[in-house]
Structure 1
Amino acid sequence: MTPGDVLARAGRLFAERGGAEYHGEAVTQLEHALQCAALAERDGRPAAWVVAALLHDVGHLLHGHGEAHLADGIDDDHEELGARFLARAFGPAVTEPIRMHVPAKRYLCAARAGYREGLSPASVRSLELQGGPMTAAEAAAFEAHPHFAAAVQLREYDDRAKVVGLATPPFDHFLTYLERCLRADRSA
């Protein structure tokens, strides 16, 4: 699969499955992705961060498990699935924050007082399935990762991008970022 094929498939996944409920939240998968990317763009983040924000949950769309996995007590590992799929087209500046956005929630629960209390009920449930807050040793190792800052920022966008009815640019608006990262992010 070429990088262009990966990009085309990601676009199709959002077109075909993006209207699905976003795992117990009040927005769809597509609305959530667009809100995340719009936040990164608004904050003037690098193109790779905007792309990571847009595509961070593509693993949910790839596996198509729907909502049942949470109710059944199953962690779907969507972050790993999405990062592996996207690694065919993007380098680590895109894929590592995606792979790390779930551990970033675990990190923030351990490192930031009051963070857990601000999570939605669905995020609290998935946190339990993902291992709960990090230990001190896990947090120290996480902080040492070169993509730590991008992963934590992505997590913060992920938490905030659940606003019903929020106007965002359409998916096509972000194609420039996607195309730029296809060319520029192969060895990051």
Structure 2
Amino acid sequence: MPDDPHKRATFRAMTEGTAEDWSIIAGEFMPFAAQLPDRVMAHLKLLEGDCGGFPIDRLEHSLQTATRAHRDGRDEEYVVMALLHDIGDTLGSYNHPDIAAAILKPFVSEQNHWIVAQHGIFQGYYFFHHLGLDRDMREQFRGHPHFEACAAFCEKYDQSAFDPDYDSAPLDFFEPMIRRVMAAPKRSVYAGVRGE
């Protein structure tokens, strides 16, 4: 349903904005933000059927990664991070970890954010050498407090989640977790602007 045109700000440039304008905008933001889990679920479904040459499609890989984390006893935030780690594949062909990290940043710990942001280069340990690249590119992060956590995520859950015979939980199983994790931000989206 389109929003009410009578409840719209009247400025043509932000320099003209008034407190009343921003009150209208703020009032519209919360209902829109509350629908984020619905948009995330819809976007995850876009990964279905897209194999990209892999043994399974991108949705199944995401489900398998999250299922493995869940069955290993990881908390909901971690499981949701595992589920969404490749959600950026459709729009960020060259930088998909950045997209997942941006979506998750307000809702996850610094460590889980760092894992999802860096998993691409860490995952490269398992295949970069087959493409003529340096599989040890992740070593540039050696000594970082979250290095081992990211390496463990890739080893235990991500690189092993391409099994066509694995019994992954369905997407609906994870929906309540997505809704709980994304119910309220844990931190400001502007946290770490200078380089978290």
Task: Tell me whether 1:52 sits opposite 2:51 in the alignment.
Answer: no
* Equivalent of 2:101 in 62, 83, 93: 83
Q: Deviations over 1:113-135 (max 9, x none)?
A: xxx4xx4xx8943x83xx64237
Change in Cα spacing, 1:49 to 1:124, as seen in structure 2 (3 Å) is farther
Report percent identity of matched pairs.
25
1:165 corresponds to which residue?
Answer: 165
Q: What is the rounded CA distance, in whole Å, between the counterparts of 1:77 and 1:180 in structure 2?
A: 27
| Greater C-alpha Rg | 2
Task: Tell me whether 1:150 sits opposite 2:149 in the alignment.
Answer: yes
TM-score under structure 2 length normalisation = 0.66
Q: Deviations over 1:10-67 (max 9, x none)?
A: 211122332211x32110011100100010001001222111110000110334x5xx
2:50 corresponds to which residue?
Answer: 20
Change in Cα spacing, 1:41 to 1:47, as seen in structure 2 (3 Å) is same
Q: Which consecutive unaligned segments of at least 5 residues does structure 2 have?
A: 1-28, 189-196
Change in Cα spacing, 1:135 to 1:97, as seen in structure 2 (3 Å) is closer
Change in Cα spacing, 1:91 to 1:144, as seen in structure 2 (3 Å) is closer
> How many residue pairs get matched?
157
Q: What secondary structure is seen at the aligned counterpart in 2 of 1:17? A: coil
Report which structure shows greater RCO (CA 8 Å, sep ≥6): 1
**What is the one-letter code of the residue matched to 1:162?**
F
Q: CA RMSD in A?
A: 2.9
Q: Shift of residue 3 of structure 1? A: 4.5
CA contact (8 A) 2:115 2:153 kept: yes
Q: What is the rounded CA distance, in whole Å, between the counterparts of 1:28 and 1:10 in structure 2?
A: 17
Q: Shift of residue 96 of structure 1? A: 2.3
1:95 corresponds to which residue?
Answer: 113
Q: Which consecutive unaligned segments of at least 5 residues does structure 1 have?
A: 66-75, 110-115
